[in-house]
């Protein structure tokens, strides 16, 4: 979220629309003004752009003989993440999802596109989005495997308790040159309010006991 306080302490469902409108407009104006103040791109930036252009051409636009389709890989990716890293997670389910995503990332290299044009190529956009989703999905699963605890929306049925000693930390995930995930952590600085256990129905239970 751009600003957690725009809708008060508890944002209701669908109330993020004002945030999108207000901060989307402000971000657009700020980006336009910033771009006007920028100097011409350096040789290093131009070289990076040319490298990416060559990659897109070699991997997608000029490639022939690919057998994999976007829809197939995307469907299998959705199923793998939903079943392995859904609401409730275990070591086995997460590992199965990780193995499947690794397989899909390898199959993605053999992707086939029908549209090789440079104008309104929505198929190329779909391929790039799928590439990003595979990366994000792999990061989610790797992080969930690393975090052997339950916290917030991350629920490990094999590790149901929260573990502040080992996992009250910011986690950063990196892709190593060999394709594996590397996770580094930095400690959370507790200032005014320390984290507390989330409980439900405590007040009503106390009233019930008092009434008896």
Q: Specify the number of domains making up the chain.
A: 1
CA angle 2, 124, 46 (to 5 degrees): 70
Q: Is the pTM of this model over 0.85?
A: no
Question: pLDDT value at position 30?
Answer: 96
Question: What residues contact residue 148 under an 8 Å CB cut-off, 6+ apart?
Answer: 156, 158, 159, 163, 166, 167
CATH no. for residue 89?
1.20.58.100
Mean per-residue pLDDT over the chain, rounded: 87
Give the C-alpha separation, 186 to 135, whole Å.
22
| Of 97, 200, 88, 94, residue with least CA distance to 155 | 88
126 is a domain residue: yes
For 140, other C-beta atoms within 10 Å of its C-beta total 18
147 is a domain residue: yes
6 is a domain residue: no
Give the C-alpha separation, 195 to 177, whole Å.
36
Helix (H, G, I), strand (E, B) or coil at 50: helix
Give the C-alpha separation, 175 to 183, whole Å.
9
- What range does the domain containing 159 cover? 58-198
Are 35 and 70 in contact by the 8 Å Cβ rule? The answer is no
The stretch 182-193 carries a mean pLDDT of 90
72 is a domain residue: yes
151 DSSP assignment: B
Give the C-alpha separation, 85 to 154, whole Å.
9
Backbone angles phi, psi at 119, to 5 degrees: -115, 120
Chain segment 75-121, per-residue pLDDT in tens: 999 999 999 999 999 999 999 999 999 999 999 999 999 999 989 99
52 is a domain residue: no
97 is a domain residue: yes
33 is a domain residue: no
Question: pLDDT value at position 5?
Answer: 58
170 DSSP assignment: E
9 is a domain residue: no
| Of 95, 198, 75, 78, residue with least CA distance to 156 | 95
The stretch 181-201 carries a mean pLDDT of 83
- Please name the residue ranges forming H helices in the chain: 17-37, 43-56, 70-84, 91-108, 122-146, 164-167, 202-211
pLDDT band at 194 (very low <50, low <70, confident <90, very high): confident
């Amino acid at each position: 979220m751009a600003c957690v306080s725009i809708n008060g302490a508890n944002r209701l469902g669908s109330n993020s629309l004002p945030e999108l409108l207000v901060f989307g407009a402000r971000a657009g104006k700020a980006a336009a003004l910033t771009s006007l103040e920028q100097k011409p791109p350096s040789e290093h930036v131009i070289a990076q752009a040319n490298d990416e252009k060559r990659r897109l051409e070699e991997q997608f636009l000029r490639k022939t003989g690919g057998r994999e389709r976007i829809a197939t890989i995307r469907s299998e990716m959705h199923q793998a993440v939903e079943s392995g890293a859904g609401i409730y997670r275990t070591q086995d389910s997460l590992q199965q999802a990780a193995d499947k995503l690794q397989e899909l990332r390898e199959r993605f290299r053999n992707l086939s596109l029908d549209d090789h044009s440079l104008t309104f190529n929505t198929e190329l956009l779909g391929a790039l989005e799928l590439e990003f989703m595979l990366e994000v999905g792999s990061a989610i699963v790797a992080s969930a495997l690393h975090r052997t605890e339950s916290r917030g929306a991350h629920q490990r049925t094999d590790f149901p308790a929260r573990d502040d000693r080992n996992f009250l930390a910011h986690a950063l995930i990196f892709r190593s040159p060999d394709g594996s995930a590397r996770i580094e952590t930095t400690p959370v600085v507790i200032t005014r309010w320390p984290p507390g256990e989330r409980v439900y129905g405590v007040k009503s239970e106390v009233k019930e006991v008092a009434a008896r």
